[in-house]
């Protein structure tokens, strides 16, 4: 048993080091190449970095001769259809609630004239399109394909975070601690692009420290939610679906804004106010997780 834990610790450290070093090297290509964060090529570089956690999982398995068992690629849908239906639509509902909650707290920030969407309509060649129609279409698309539209790049992350890091941490720590630490490492992983302006920009008070801290908090919150369902369904696919939904719709409330706003607060769910419904759910699941969660038929997630 001790030898097994020692091997697992080596694999854990190897994975973390590989992921951080390779990812940050890729992220830093953006300033090294003189690119502006958010520009075309910078987006491509950022997307490429999303596959590094999965790549690091593969490299770690090769370097440490672990093999390729327990990759957590099986969805395990049989007998869990209800869970997957909730998983498909639940995050969307939570995202819409998050936007509504933010505007209830800051009603003056809501733009009933839909100025931003009207600008998009004005630049469109479709004469029949209105701001209201565009908003409805955006929401419907978001609801229908949100969990799958970004599934490939989010699997690039989740095969590493929830498919490798979390199971390894569960060998040494209580589940609550493993969920939090996985999320914290995920948040720290974002550090270079947070400094470049990812999610929060660069003009907020306390830049970049408060942005880094806000991202770590957000990743812990979302990591608890994704990790909890991944453990329950014994697969990294549920985490990738949630991640895909979040990436697809996190910025939707920004289209409904007027005036200036503090990105550290919202309205996107990466803000402390915009993300409150997610924080509440994370706290509930954190309490429910206990020290060790009970698994179903596939006990391999603990291995």
* Chain segment 49-106, per-residue pLDDT in tens: 999 999 999 999 999 999 998 889 988 888 889 999 999 999 999 999 999 999 999 9
Residue 124 has pLDDT above 80, yes or no: no
d(CA 62, CA 139): 43
For residue 138, the model assigns a pLDDT of 81
Answer yes or no: are the C-beta atoms of 167 and 303 closer than 8 Å: yes
For residue 294, the model assigns a pLDDT of 55
State the pLDDT confidence band at 225, using cuts at 50, 70 and 90: very high
For residue 279, the model assigns a pLDDT of 97
Q: Give first-to-last CA distance, the chain, whole Å.
A: 12
Q: pTM of this prediction?
A: 0.92
What's the longest Cα–Cα distance across the chain? 69
Mean pLDDT of 14-40: 97
% residues pLDDT > 70 (the chain)? 94
């Amino acid at each position: 048993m001790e030898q097994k834990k020692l091997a697992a610790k080596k694999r854990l450290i190897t994975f973390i080091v590989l992921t951080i070093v390779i990812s940050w090297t890729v992220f830093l290509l953006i300033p090294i190449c003189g690119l502006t964060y958010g520009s075309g090529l910078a987006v491509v570089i950022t997307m490429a970095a999303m596959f590094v956690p999965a790549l690091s999982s593969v490299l770690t398995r090769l370097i440490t001769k672990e093999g390729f068992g327990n990759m957590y690629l099986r969805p395990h849908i049989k007998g869990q259809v209800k869970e997957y239906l909730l998983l498909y639509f639940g995050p969307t509902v939570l995202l819409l609630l998050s936007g509504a909650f933010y505007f209830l707290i800051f009603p003056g920030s809501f733009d009933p004239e839909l100025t931003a969407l009207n600008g998009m309509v004005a630049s469109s060649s479709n004469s029949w399109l209105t701001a209201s129609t565009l908003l409805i279409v955006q929401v419907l698309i978001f609801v229908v394909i949100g969990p799958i539209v970004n599934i490939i790049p989010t699997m690039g992350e989740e095969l590493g975070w929830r498919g490798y890091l979390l199971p390894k941490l569960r060998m040494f720590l209580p589940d609550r601690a493993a969920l939090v630490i996985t999320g914290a490492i995920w948040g720290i992983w974002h550090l270079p692009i947070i400094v470049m302006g990812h999610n929060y920009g660069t003009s907020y008070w306390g830049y970049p420290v408060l942005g880094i801290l806000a991202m770590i908090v957000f990743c812990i919150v979302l990591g608890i939610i994704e990790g909890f369902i991944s453990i329950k369904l014994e697969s990294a696919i549920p985490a990738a679906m949630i991640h895909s939904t979040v990436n697809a719709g996190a910025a939707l409330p920004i289209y409904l804004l007027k005036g200036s706003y503090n990105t550290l607060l919202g309205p996107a769910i990466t803000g402390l106010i915009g993300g409150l419904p997610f924080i509440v759910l994370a706290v509930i699941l954190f309490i429910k997780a206990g020290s060790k969660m009970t698994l179903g038929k596939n006990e391999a997630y603990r291995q």
